Amino acid sequence: MAARIHPAAIVESGAQLGADCEIMAGAIVTRHCILGDRVVVHPYAVIGGDPQYLKFDRALETGVRIGADTVVREHVTISRSIRAGGFTAVGEQCFLMAATHVGHDCSVGNQVVLANATLLAGHVAVGDHTFFGGGAAVHQFCRIGEGVMVAGHASITRDVPHFVMVAERDDVIGLNLVGLKRRGFSRETMAELKQAYHDVFFTPGNIRAVAAAAQAGGKFAAPEARRFLEFFAEGKRSFARARRAGAKDADAG
């Protein structure tokens, strides 16, 4: 089915809309956009606008890609990339609630929810199945792993590994056990994740070295536990850290 474009919506020439997309009244989809099938853009959202970057050359050909079945609610802004030929990317089956912002060069995975007024600065990477509470804000260049639960009004300035919950300012408060159960993870996998979490966050020393040692030990068979540990070998930023009464924080190096 052809895309449906409501009165007073603006879809610039050159924009690519998949089958059965719906662009509601007052929404703006610039020529820099590629929308997958069944994407819905609600009133007054702006998709593919210029990035909020003072040195940006508006003549550059950059864009925004949005995957199939994603819903973009009112007043959402998704900025195009600052890099020639680059794209800001939002995956499939995402839900971007009202007044959220996805900055230039972000990469948002599949089945991600951004509750109202979530703010992602430029170059943020978000894994699949992650949920952001309302008003959460993420610093530029941060990585947020798969299956993370970010609390409302959280301030994230460090990398957050897969499968955890994070609140306040970079405070990891445990594994996202409810999310893991809903996705059907086995008890064995969850037990390994608990052990890997404990090894990383409550073993003294540099957190990268601790994670590498845990991985090298060979006691983790579950792919998810190994991916949790591998997260700490990548990236350039420091890591969000667990807080627990009476426990030492692992070094964030």
Residues in the chain: 253
Can you say whether residue 174 is alpha, beta or left, with left for phi > 0 and alpha for psi between -120 and 50 degrees?
left
Spatial distance between the Cα atoms of 24 and 190, rounded to a whole number of angstroms: 42
**Active-site choice (122, 133, 145, 179):** 122
> What CA–CA distance (Å, rounded) separates 126 from 226?
19
Cα separation of 55 and 96, whole Å? 28
Considering the candidates 42, 75, 104, 123, report the single residue annotated as catalytic. 104
The pair of structure tokens assigned to 220 is 């983790």
Task: Reply yes or no on whether 75 is catalytic.
Answer: no
Q: Spot the catalytic one: 48, 91, 103, 105.
A: 105
153 catalytic, yes or no?
no
Cα distance between residue 247 and residue 204, in whole Å: 10
Q: Is 105 a catalytic residue?
A: yes
Taking the C-alpha atoms of residue 160 and residue 147, their distance in angstroms, rounded to an integer, is 11
Hey, which residues are catalytic here? 104-105, 122
